[in-house]
């Protein structure tokens, strides 16, 4: 992070009351590991998020995980959780699902069943998330990984579902407009911050980056900040479209420390 980036973040830290702090979770607040149930967030990062939740207009975790799972991982009641790439929100202990997604639930379940039968024996981890599905192939060979991607893409197309491929994972979801970008827009419209920043590391986070830019161009937000978490496996656009680039979870922690005035 350059001195210019540091000064910019420091300025944002002085105006937290009008800031929406929005962040991905896996690969951003916690390192990517072989299976999602092994992910852990450090106590230091959790403490920084708690501190920021008391000063910001809103702090929200926007994740590919189910909203309840995202809450269990982060463990903070003070923040809002948008799960399943924007298909659901957890607030005050209640989960709301986008109504338009309901008709696709059986098709997601069908693909889940077939993926467990076909890909499970090969070593892939099929994560059940309700209205969406993730097939993780990080812990298998490159050849098997390609086979997993091809299977999910083929079956997703057959069932009329949307498939995106990220860092060692193929994501399946209903083909309706709900993603991290729509989640960002909903949060901004509800909490009405003047500024908003998003931190992310993977392909699905680009939707959030691009929606922030639209909100700024529309005049809904006065300022935006897109923070890209650089990694060997992340898409190059995370770096090219970001306003600030940091290295890994350690870089994210540094960003949060600057915002709270500890760095």
- Using alpha carbons, select from 194, 186, 195 the residue that is nearest to residue 243: 195
183 and 89, same structural domain?
yes
184 and 55, same structural domain?
yes
**The CATH number of the domain where 123 resides is what?**
3.30.70.1020
222 and 164, same structural domain?
no
Q: Is there a catalytic annotation at residue 26?
A: no
- Using alpha carbons, select from 70, 78, 75, 89 the residue that is nearest to residue 24: 70
85 and 9, same structural domain?
yes
Cα separation, 155 vs 224, in Å, equals 38
DSSP letter (8 states) at residue 138: T
pTM for the whole structure: 0.81
Average pLDDT score over the chain: 92
Cα separation, 262 vs 138, in Å, equals 35
Question: What are the helix (H) ranges across the chain?
Answer: 3-13, 43-53, 67-74, 105-118, 142-159, 180-191, 205-218, 236-240, 248-260
Q: Which domain holds residue 130?
A: 100-173
First-residue to last-residue Cα distance in the chain: 12
106 and 78, same structural domain?
no
What is the average per-residue pLDDT within 131-136? 90
Cα separation, 121 vs 105, in Å, equals 24
CB 240 within 8 A of CB 230: no
Residue where a domain stops, chosen among 121, 146, 173:
173
Tokens of 171: 């994501």
Which residues contact residue 146 at a Cβ distance below 8 angstroms, ignoring those fewer than 6 apart? none
3 state DSSP class of 38: helix
| Percent of residues, the chain, with pLDDT higher than 70 | 97
β-strands 223-230, 195-200 pairing: parallel
Q: What is the pLDDT of residue 65?
A: 87
Banded model confidence at residue 33, pLDDT cuts 50, 70, 90: low
In this structure, the number of other CB atoms found within 10 A of the CB of residue 118 comes to: 17
Inform me whether the pLDDT recorded for 60 exceeds 70.
Answer: yes
Banded model confidence at residue 38, pLDDT cuts 50, 70, 90: low
168 and 38, same structural domain?
no
231 and 107, same structural domain?
no
Q: What is the pLDDT of residue 166?
A: 83
Which residues contact residue 108 at a Cβ distance below 8 angstroms, ignoring those fewer than 6 apart? 131, 132, 133, 161, 172, 173, 174
| Centroid of chain to Cα 165 | 14
Inform me whether the pLDDT recorded for 54 exceeds 90.
Answer: yes
Residues 140-168 have pLDDT tens digits of: 999 999 999 999 999 999 999 999 888 88
Residue where a domain stops, chosen among 152, 173, 194:
173
Residues 79-93 have pLDDT tens digits of: 999 998 888 999 778
Residue where a domain stops, chosen among 157, 173, 189:
173
What is the dihedral angle through the alpha carbons of 60, 62, 68, 73, rounded to the nearest 10 degrees?
Answer: -80
Q: Which of 5, 24, 37, 205 is catalytic?
A: 24
Tokens of 130: 């309700």
Domain tally, the chain: 2
β-strands 19-23, 195-200 pairing: parallel
β-strands 94-97, 88-91 pairing: antiparallel
252 and 143, same structural domain?
no
Banded model confidence at residue 36, pLDDT cuts 50, 70, 90: low
Residues 175-227 have pLDDT tens digits of: 988 899 999 999 999 999 999 999 999 998 999 999 999 999 999 999 999 99
Q: What is the pLDDT of residue 51?
A: 96
85 and 210, same structural domain?
yes
């Amino acid at each position: 992070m350059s001195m210019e980036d540091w000064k910019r973040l420091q300025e944002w830290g002085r105006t937290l009351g009008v800031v929406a702090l929005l962040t991905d979770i896996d690969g951003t607040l916690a390192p990517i590991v072989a299976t999602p149930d092994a992910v852990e967030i450090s106590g230091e990062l959790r403490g920084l998020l708690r501190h920021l939740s008391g000063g910001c207009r809103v702090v929200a975790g926007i994740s590919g995980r189910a909203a309840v799972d995202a809450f269990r991982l982060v463990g903070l009641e003070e923040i809002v959780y948008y799960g399943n790439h924007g298909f659901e929100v957890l607030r005050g202990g209640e989960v709301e699902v986008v109504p338009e997604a309901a008709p696709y639930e059986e098709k997601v379940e069908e693909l889940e069943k077939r993926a467990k039968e076909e890909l499970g024996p090969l070593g892939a981890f099929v994560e059940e998330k309700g209205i969406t599905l993730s097939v993780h192939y990080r812990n298998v060979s490159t050849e098997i990984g390609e086979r997993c991607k091809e299977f999910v893409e083929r079956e997703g197309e057959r069932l009329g579902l949307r498939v995106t491929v990220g860092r060692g994972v193929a994501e399946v979801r209903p083909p309706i407009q709900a993603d991290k970008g729509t989640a960002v827009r909903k949060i901004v419209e509800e909490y009405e911050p003047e500024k908003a920043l998003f931190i992310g590391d993977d392909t699905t986070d680009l939707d959030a980056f691009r929606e922030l830019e639209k909100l700024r161009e529309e005049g809904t937000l006065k300022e935006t900040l897109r923070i890209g978490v650089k990694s060997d496996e992340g898409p190059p656009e995370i770096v090219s479209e970001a306003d600030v680039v940091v290295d890994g979870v350690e870089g994210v922690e540094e960003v949060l420390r600057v915002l709270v005035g500890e760095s």
